[in-house]
Amino acid sequence: MRNFLLMGAAAIMISSCTNVPSEQEARSIISADLGANYVAEYYFADPHDIPRLFGSDAEKQGLISFDKRPTIGSIVNGNPLVTFSAKASTYIDSIASNSSIAYIIVARANISDIKIETEHDGNQQEVTVHYKLIYTDPTPFAALSPGLIGRLFSRKAKLEKVAGKWKIKRDH
């Protein structure tokens, strides 16, 4: 019985010294950095960007309307050729101060298949987290990013321990 208790205490001490984030901790750090949604930048004064939304769910649901007869002057001046209805505010992350660029929520980001690799570099400990990212739950604006929904992306992030907490390592 005494040996069993000693082995248990040794296992706890060893595991506390490993200094590696759990999968759940890595997932929450990466999720906080990525955000819960995929947000697309959309320049709605460009006549070349607008056709992606023709016939889209956003148009069918009355979230947007188009300037049917833009003038050359309005195009040259960068006037918006798409108007968002009040119902569209749920999907708009933000609109830039010049009001011709909108950041629109396209889908939800989901992280899976997390694998953590440790690297020791002197006294500093870093880990590399390999994960899969898939975008699901398309919004009516999914036409802005064709081919994104349901596609699996392999990604990696470096985490470093700073002041006792794991954070995304930024290369400056």
Residue 35 backbone zone (phi > 0: left; psi -120 to 50: alpha; other: beta): left
Task: Find the mean pLDDT for residues 94-113.
Answer: 86
- Does pTM surpass 0.75? no
Confidence (pLDDT) at 16: 46
**Rounded Cα distance, 104 and 89, in Å:** 9
Instruction: Determine phi and psi for 154, rounding to 5 degrees.
Output: -95, 130
36 C-beta neighbours (distance < 10 Å), count: 11
Q: Write the pLDDT tens digit of every residue in 38-83.
A: 998 888 887 777 888 888 899 999 999 888 777 777 777 777 888 8
What ranges do the domains of the chain cover? 21-168
From residue 79, how far is each of 18, 46, 66, 96, 102 by CA, in Å? Answer: 57, 9, 12, 13, 13
The larger pLDDT score, comparing residue 93 to residue 118, is at 93
96: pLDDT strictly greater than 80 = no
